[in-house]
Amino acid sequence: MLLLDNGTRPPFFDISPEISVLHLNLLKSSNGFLDGLVNNLRRILVLRKAIQESRPETVISFMDSTNIITLLATRATGIRTVIAERTNPQHTANNAYWKFLQKNVYQLADKIVVQTERVTGYFPKRVQTKCVVIPNPVVKPIATSQPPIVLQRPCIMGVGRLSYEKGFDILIDAFTELAQSYPDWRLVIFGDGPAKSTLAAQIITYGLEDRIFLPGYAMEIRPLFAYADIFVLPSRLEGFPNALCEAMASGIAVIATDCSTGPREIIRHGIDGMLVPINNHKALVRAMERLILDTTFREQLAKQAPVVCERFHPDGIFIKWENLFITG
pLDDT tens digits, one per residue of 236-285: 988 889 999 999 999 999 999 998 888 999 999 999 999 999 999 999 99
Task: Report the SS3 class of residue 138.
Answer: coil
Work out the average pLDDT over 212-230. 88
User: Please, what sign has the CA dihedral across residues 206, 209, 211, 217?
Assistant: positive
pLDDT at site 159 = 95
pLDDT over threshold 80, residue 220: no
Residue 86 CA to residue 67 CA, distance in Å, equals: 11
Residue 83 CA to residue 64 CA, distance in Å, equals: 9
pTM strictly above 0.85 = no
pLDDT over threshold 90, residue 121: no
Peptide bond into 154 cis (omega under 30): yes
Fold (CATH) for 155-311: Rossmann fold (3.40.50)
67-71, 98-102, 148-152: the lowest-pLDDT one? 148-152
- CA dihedral 65→68→71→74, nearest 10 degrees, is -60
Work out the average pLDDT over 191-202. 96
User: What is the homologous superfamily of the domain 2-137+316-327 according to CATH?
Assistant: Glycogen Phosphorylase B; (3.40.50.2000)
Measured CA to CA in angstroms, residue 183 lies from 153, 177, 179, 180, 215 at distances of 11, 11, 6, 6, 20
DSSP 71-106: HHHSTTS--EEEEE--S-HHHHS-SHHHHHHHHHHG
Angle between helices 64-73 and 33-54 (to 10 degrees): 60
Question: Boundaries of CATH 3.40.50.2000 in the chain?
Answer: 2-137+316-327, 155-311
What is the distance between the terminal CA atoms of the chain, rounded to a whole angstrom?
Answer: 21
User: Which H or E element spans position 41?
Assistant: helix 33-54
pLDDT at site 224 = 87
CA-nearest of 168, 143, 141, 177 to 252 is 141
Percent of the chain exceeding pLDDT 90 equals 69
User: Please, what sign has the CA dihedral across residues 38, 25, 86, 74?
Assistant: positive
Residue 246 CA to residue 224 CA, distance in Å, equals: 11
